[in-house]
């Protein structure tokens, strides 16, 4: 039975009638991100050793040959910018795995595909099935070692929340604004990236209400001084994701994912199910409950 089910899933994945969402549910995921057995085994290299690792990894990235695979046009940019922006430990693990693939372009593509999946999941731009939870968090922890303190079961804690005015919250979710830790407790530099030309509200906010190179200090609300402030490690991860997305060209991909979900949710508002069974109920339910599981 296992063999027949596997065969049927593969046939479904090859069917042209399937949506992109269905394909993601049926495709075999690449091997787990990074070859490290545990994050604790990834020690940051010394400055000189890191420069050596980075140079070797960049050389291997530039030797990659394209084969027309999905998202392959972003492979070199994503891996290069990840080496630049991932924190210590994460960048070391990535560099070593890039070097370890030697001349195997298939393995290098797997490293890229899983890194892309991990940072998109960290950004909550793509949802995963429950059976992928351990794999995805292992990947995120490896790329961002300090987030290991925030277990997946505690992702809804106050440390993973922040209160912002509506326009800022929208920009934060779209990775157009980030809080970069300054090294001073609860003090952050405001980093921003220009929104689309037609987003006049955000452009007005960014150009006239948010000064350049501004800093902000987070504080508890009056009467709630005993509550924890947002996690510096998670805000650091969000900032680094913003840098990777915008420097590598992935920002447009994140935007398209958001638009697809927004359109599906609003197109389904008040609709009835078609009698021909053409509606993808799995995708509908996935989107319908998204707001209840996001943080």
Cα-Cα-Cα-Cα torsion 94, 98, 101, 105, nearest 10 degrees, comes to 120
Q: Once rounded to an integer, what is the mean pLDDT over residues 106-120?
A: 89
Q: Mean pLDDT across the chain, nearest whole number?
A: 74
Q: What is the pLDDT of residue 29?
A: 44
Pairwise pLDDT comparison (274 vs 9), residue with the higher score: 274
Q: Which of 286, 285, 260 is CA-nearest to residue 128?
A: 286
Of 229, 56, 78, the C-alpha closest to 143 is 78
Going along the chain, which residue ranges are E strands?
Answer: 177-181, 187-192, 215-217
Q: Which tops the pLDDT comparison, 273 or 294?
A: 273
pLDDT score at 129: 42
Max mean pLDDT among 5-14, 131-140, 177-186, 280-289 falls in 177-186
Q: Indicate if the pLDDT at residue 234 is higher than 50.
A: yes
* Confidence (pLDDT) at 272: 56
Q: 3-state class of 72 per DSSP?
A: helix
54 has pLDDT over 90: yes
Which of the given ranges, 24-38, 174-188, 277-291, has the highest pLDDT on average?
A: 174-188
Burial of 97 (0-12, 13-18, 19+ CB in 10 A): buried
Give the per-residue pLDDT at 248: 92
What is the spatial order of strands in the sheet that 177-181 belongs to?
177-181, 187-192, 215-217
Q: Which residue has the higher pLDDT, 123 or 233?
A: 233
pLDDT for 117 equals 80
CA 150 from centre of chain: 16
What is the pTM (predicted TM-score) of this model? 0.71
The stretch 62-72 carries a mean pLDDT of 92
Is residue 173 very low, low, confident or very high in pLDDT (cuts 50, 70, 90)?
confident
Residue bearing the bigger pLDDT, 143 or 60: 60
Mean pLDDT of 145-169: 68
- The secondary structure of 105-136 as a DSSP string is HHHHHHHHHHHHHHHHHHTTSS---GGGHHHH
For residues 1-28, average pLDDT: 41
The arithmetic mean of pLDDT across residues 81-96, rounded, is 95
């Amino acid at each position: 039975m296992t063999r027949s089910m596997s065969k049927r899933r593969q046939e479904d994945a090859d069917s042209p009638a399937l949506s992109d969402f269905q394909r993601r549910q049926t495709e075999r995921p690449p091997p787990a991100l990074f070859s490290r057995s545990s994050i604790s085994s990834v020690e940051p290299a010394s400055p000189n050793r890191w420069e050596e690792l980075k140079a070797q990894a960049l050389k291997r990235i530039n030797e990659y040959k394209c084969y027309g695979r999905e998202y392959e046009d972003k492979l070199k940019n994503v891996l290069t910018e990840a080496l630049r922006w991932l924190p210590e430990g994460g960048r070391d693990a990535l560099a070593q795995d890039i070097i370890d693939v030697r001349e195997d372009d298939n393995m290098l593509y797997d490293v890229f595909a899983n890194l892309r999946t991990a940072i998109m999941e960290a950004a909550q731009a793509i949802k995963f099935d429950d059976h992928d939870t351990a794999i995805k968090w292992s990947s995120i922890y490896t790329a961002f070692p300090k987030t290991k303190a925030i277990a997946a079961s505690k992702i809804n804690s106050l440390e993973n929340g922040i209160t912002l005015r509506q326009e800022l919250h929208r920009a934060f979710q779209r990775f157009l604004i980030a809080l970069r830790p300054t090294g001073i407790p609860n003090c952050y530099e405001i980093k921003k990236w220009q929104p689309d030309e037609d987003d006049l509200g955000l452009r007005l906010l960014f150009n006239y209400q948010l000064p350049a190179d501004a800093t902000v200090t987070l504080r508890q609300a009056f009467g709630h001084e005993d509550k924890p402030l947002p996690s510096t490690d998670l805000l650091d991860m969000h900032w680094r994701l913003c840098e990777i997305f915008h420097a590598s060209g992935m920002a447009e991909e994140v935007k398209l994912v958001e638009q697809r979900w927004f359109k599906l949710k609003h197109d389904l508002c008040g609709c009835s199910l078609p009698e021909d069974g053409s509606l993808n109920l799995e995708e509908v339910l996935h989107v319908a409950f998204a707001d209840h599981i996001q943080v």
